[in-house]
Structure 1
Amino acid sequence: MRTGRRTKQWLWRWRANPLRRRDDVLEAWLVLAVWAVVAVGGTLAGAVTARAADDVFTQQRAERTPVQAVVVSDAAQSAARGYRSLVTVRWTRPDGSARTDTTVVSASPKAGARMEVWTNAKGELTTAPPSPAGAALEAAFLGASAALAATGLAAGAGAAARWRLDRRREDRWGREWDTVGPRWGHKTS
């Protein structure tokens, strides 16, 4: 017997009640829908985003290769003070042709020094791909951000809809009071 009573209390917005308004039922369904979107949509958005980011990082690790390059020009003195600077480097492409380009370095290599640079499938300079651990961390961060964004969007839309329902109820209460209020007694002004 007690379980039936608890169920009625839990589902109070859906039970038959002469004071229940259509807006109350609409608000109850709205709250349920927002929670469902938050739970399912946020989780799904996070999982899909994390998976997509992990796939991109895996592809980057597969496509990018490290090659040895020779520094052609000295780095600017700014790198010696802890800043990054550009140096010109030369390396050999997979087809055997030589290529020269500039890259950012944090140290101050001298001309003739050897250094490792990363190239893409075309043999052009690119950034180093993230390590598996770094990629997993970044994918998790991106997934969590997407989940929070979806949750915030759903919660914000639900709050806006509930605010609109509250305004509508207040307007109806005001109109009803304007018709019923004068019958309850005299006005002071």
Structure 2
Amino acid sequence: MAMTHRTMIRMWRWRRNRLRRRSDAIEAWIVLTAWLLAVTGGLIAAVTATELSIHRFDQQRRESHPVAVRLTQNAASAASAQAVDDDQVWATVRWSDSDGLVHTGKTKVAPEIPAGTPVHVWADRHGHLVSKPSSRAMTDFAGACNGALAAAGVGVVVFAGTRLACRYLDQLRMTQWADEWEQVSTRWGGRTG
């Protein structure tokens, strides 16, 4: 069995030749533009999303502070229906802020702690209980993940747009090809189809 050797002509859409259609050149420019948009847009989106995410986490860290609170009731046992995912239970706590206002709220504590036991929680500047702020390492990791997702999102949008444009150009080429075959068949004296 004889093997055929296929020659690859690189960048044929950019070279002048008789077989290249205008839609081929347009497609080459679309693909080049898509690559540039994907790279630059992805980098810009990644940096922006990372910075915004880190800024938001840093702001949460600045606006929250630790508060010493006291349990108002005995904490339930871990086997009760109030148990949560990390072997802790919800309990009601009370504390006073710097202005002397008394606040109450619910927080997670170890099970079976007696009422009146001091517990440390985090509150925002309005006195509402909040989650413990993320560490700097966790903030950087979350920022990097958000940046990667933003870059991937830009890449997906650019890829989808490019595929739609190339599909339209393929349909245009097929229509042109069918019209040209129709002209050739009438020159040969008959129909081919």
Letter in 1 for 2:183: T
75-84 vs 144-153, which moves further: 75-84
- Shift of the 45–22 alpha-carbon distance from structure 1 to 2, 3 Å rule, reads same
Write the mapping of 1:44-55 to structure 2, written as runs, cut at 5 A.
Answer: 44-55=44-55
1:160 to 164, 168, 178: 164
Structure 2 partner of 1:6:
none
| Structure 2 portions without partners, runs of 5+ | 1-8
Which whole-Å CA distance do the structure 2 matches of 1:42 and 1:180 have between them? 47
Letter in 1 for 2:106: T
| Residues 34-84 of structure 1 deviation map (CA, whole Å, 9 limit, x = unaligned) | 000111000110110000000111111111001111111233424289555
- Structure 1 residue 187 displacement after superposition: 6.0
Which whole-Å CA distance do the structure 2 matches of 1:188 and 1:179 have between them? 10
Number of residue pairs aligned between Structure 1 and Structure 2:
180
Aligned-residue CA RMSD in angstroms?
2.3
Q: Which has the higher helix share?
A: 1
- Structure 1 residue 125 displacement after superposition: 1.0
- Structure 1 residue 124 displacement after superposition: 1.5
Which whole-Å CA distance do the structure 2 matches of 1:129 and 1:18 have between them? 65
Specify the SS of the correspondent of 2:94: strand
| Structure 1 portions without partners, runs of 5+ | 1-8
8 Å contact from structure 1 (residues 86, 102) kept in 2: yes
Q: TM-score, normalised by structure 2?
A: 0.83
- Shift of the 173–112 alpha-carbon distance from structure 1 to 2, 3 Å rule, reads same
Write the mapping of 1:54-93 to structure 2, written as runs, cut at 5 A.
Answer: 54-76=54-76, 77-78=80-81, 79=83, 85-93=89-97
| Residues 122-153 of structure 1 deviation map (CA, whole Å, 9 limit, x = unaligned) | 12211111110111111110110000011111
- Shift of the 58–112 alpha-carbon distance from structure 1 to 2, 3 Å rule, reads same
Specify the SS of the correspondent of 1:87: strand
Which whole-Å CA distance do the structure 2 matches of 1:75 and 1:164 have between them? 66
Specify the SS of the correspondent of 1:101: strand
Letter in 1 for 2:49: T
Q: TM-score, normalised by structure 1?
A: 0.85
| Residues 72-123 of structure 1 deviation map (CA, whole Å, 9 limit, x = unaligned) | 12334242895554211011212122211122x1521332222111111112
Provide the identity percentage.
36
